[in-house]
């Protein structure tokens, strides 16, 4: 009986997590976590930017997927896509609420980043919706060969790392921005590995060009460089306490394991909960290092 109760409890938790994935609350929590983490580096307790990032991520991801959900179902038999289609009415309502909340927090962030934020938002929309025409066919930014992963890493690095510096009124440390770029770049590679069976061959994603094994090694190299930058900033700039630096390092190491184990045959939860959750883990371990150690 006890084992059955534990099993049922785990199934219930997984259902909640699946719901958070479908509604994109999970990925939005990841962007919130990274933004909050960056603000903490500079002792900035104002969370207007972090909440804007959270709600704008909710709106952007839901809007993009709802706009393309029928096409995505045709591209591949994905449980996640089917659930998006199933709950599309609720998700449209959720997107509208998210847009309103994002607008409220947008008005509360520092005016100096208004236009950069809008520019990042346009890139995010253009990433998944048709914005340019080539040979009579409307294409998205993600359809441009070899650029997909770099757009994601660039936008996340700027929004969750550079903008927190600007609103905290501190000198820009480009090494920190590069470190964030490399981390996001590395944890995005598993998703390209997952999507090998769906992506068009002319996309030239890293796994398509180099193969799965080399793609994983490229991700590992990116994380190793990010770790080197982390400790450089710790020793030469004193940005973190020892425990905070170790918390980030442990998060990077766990991310490296997930990148190394990535394979198209793995379950969707491996990517949507495991790999996607590394951003949340990063913020959680940093919080614990600040408050419990």
Q: Between helices 174-194 and 148-157, what is the axis angle to 10°?
A: 140
Phi, psi at 202, each rounded to 5°: -80, 0
Tokens of 142: 């993600």
pLDDT of 34: 97
- CB within 8 Å of 165: residues ≥ 6 apart: 38, 42, 171, 172, 173, 176
139-154 pLDDT tens trace: 777 777 788 899 999 9
CA distance 15 to 175: 39
> For residues 49 and 34, is the Cβ–Cβ distance under 8 A?
no
Tokens of 256: 């490296």
- Residue ranges per domain, the chain? 2-291
Tokens of 271: 């990517």
Among 18, 23, 27, 17, CA closest to 191: 27
CA distance 8 to 29: 26
CA distance 273 to 37: 20
CA distance 140 to 118: 18
246-278 pLDDT tens trace: 999 999 999 999 999 999 999 989 999 999 999
pLDDT of 111: 87
CA distance to 29, 84, 99, 263, per residue, from 104 (Å) = 18, 26, 9, 41
Residue 108 CA, distance from chain mean position: 23
Among 31, 28, 34, 85, CA closest to 58: 28
pLDDT of 3: 54
> For residues 281 and 254, is the Cβ–Cβ distance under 8 A?
yes
Residues of the chain falling short of pLDDT 50 = 1
CA distance 24 to 90: 13
pTM: 0.90
pLDDT of 2: 52
CA distance 61 to 104: 18
pLDDT of 135: 66
């Amino acid at each position: 009986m006890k084992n059955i109760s534990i099993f049922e409890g785990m199934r219930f938790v997984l259902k909640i997590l699946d719901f958070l994935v479908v509604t994109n609350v999970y990925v939005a929590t990841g962007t919130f976590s990274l933004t909050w983490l960056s603000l903490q580096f500079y002792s900035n307790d104002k969370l207007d930017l972090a909440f804007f990032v959270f709600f704008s991520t909710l709106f952007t991801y839901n809007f993009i997927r709802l706009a393309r959900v029928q096409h995505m179902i045709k591209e591949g038999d994905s449980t996640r896509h089917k659930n998006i289609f199933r709950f599309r009415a609720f998700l449209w309502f959720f997107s509208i609420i998210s847009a309103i909340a994002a607008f409220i927090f947008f008005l509360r962030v520092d005016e100096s980043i208004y236009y950069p934020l809008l520019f990042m938002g346009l890139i995010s929309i253009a990433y998944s919706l048709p914005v340019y025409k080539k040979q009579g066919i409307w294409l998205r930014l993600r359809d441009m060969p070899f650029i997909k992963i770099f757009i994601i890493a660039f936008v996340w690095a700027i929004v969750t790392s550079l903008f927190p510096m600007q609103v905290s009124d501190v000198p820009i440390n480009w090494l920190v921005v590069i470190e964030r770029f490399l981390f996001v770049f590395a944890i995005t590679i598993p998703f390209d590995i997952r999507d090998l069976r769906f992506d068009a061959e002319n996309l030239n994603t890293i796994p398509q060009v180099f193969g799965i094994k080399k793609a994983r090694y490229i991700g590992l190299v990116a994380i190793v460089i990010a770790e080197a930058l982390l400790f450089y900033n710790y020793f030469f700039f004193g940005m973190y306490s020892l425990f905070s630096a170790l918390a980030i390092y442990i998060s990077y190491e766990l991310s490296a394991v997930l990148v190394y184990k990535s394979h198209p045959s793995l379950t969707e939860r491996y990517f949507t909960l495991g790999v996607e959750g590394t951003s949340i883990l990063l913020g959680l371990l940093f919080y614990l290092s600040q408050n419990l150690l």
